[in-house]
């Protein structure tokens, strides 16, 4: 801008070269901003990610709290915020739990010994999940035997919750109550070897 008064004295070829050099430098320096702004437009217009959606990107799992032209803020369960550039959101694999439905499938896994009555354990686990105040009631909970290990059987208990925070509370509530109930029934978490 300071050189504008002297443009008449400078050859046009020099002005063109300087303008081209400044444009290249500004383009290189502004590339991340422009890239993130364009990615923000794509995110906003595509509706692949919306405010309040529950997402998982790499190790980050939380809800989308804010989408700006340059970045997206994800709030995780312990109230930390991850600020992710929009270009990274577009270029990375992103799992959106809320793309179709807002409710979430919560599961816990636990081991029981081979001596346990698996049918009884399964019934108790399902009953405890159904009685939890965090269970949404969308579909009945289910319990599966997933693996037979050296010392016991791995069971999965899955139930639906309405939101990610209720899903977390559902798993916590079920673990606490199931642990107490298995203790009452005398069910060991795995076979204990006596010498």
CA distance 125 to 141: 9
pLDDT for the residue numbered 192: 52
What are the residue ranges in the chain where pLDDT is below 70? Answer: 1-10, 15, 100-102, 190-195
> Over the stretch 167-186, which tens digit does the pLDDT of each residue have?
889 999 999 999 999 999 98
Q: Indicate the pTM of the whole model.
A: 0.55
> How many Cβ atoms are within 10 Å of 77's Cβ, its own excluded?
12
């Amino acid at each position: 801008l300071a050189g504008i008064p002297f443009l008449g004295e400078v050859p046009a070829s020099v002005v063109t070269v300087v303008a081209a050099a400044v444009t290249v430098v500004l383009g290189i320096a502004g590339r991340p901003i422009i890239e993130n702004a364009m990615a923000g437009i794509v995110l906003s217009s595509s509706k692949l990610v919306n405010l309040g959606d529950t997402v998982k990107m790499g190790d980050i799992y939380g809800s989308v709290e804010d989408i700006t032209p340059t970045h997206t803020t994800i709030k995780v369960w312990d109230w930390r915020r991850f600020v992710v550039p929009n270009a990274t959101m577009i270029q990375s694999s992103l799992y959106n739990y809320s793309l179709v439905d807002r409710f979430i499938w919560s599961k816990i896994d636990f081991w029981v010994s081979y001596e346990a009555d698996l049918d009884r354990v399964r019934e108790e686990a399902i009953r405890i999940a159904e009685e939890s105040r965090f269970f949404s009631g969308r579909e009945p909970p289910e319990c599966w035997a997933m693996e037979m290990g050296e010392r016991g059987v791995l069971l999965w208990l899955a139930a639906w919750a309405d939101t990610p925070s209720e899903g977390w509370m559902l798993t916590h509530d079920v673990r606490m109550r199931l642990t107490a109930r298995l203790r009452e029934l005398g069910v060991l978490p795995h076979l204990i070897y006596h010498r």
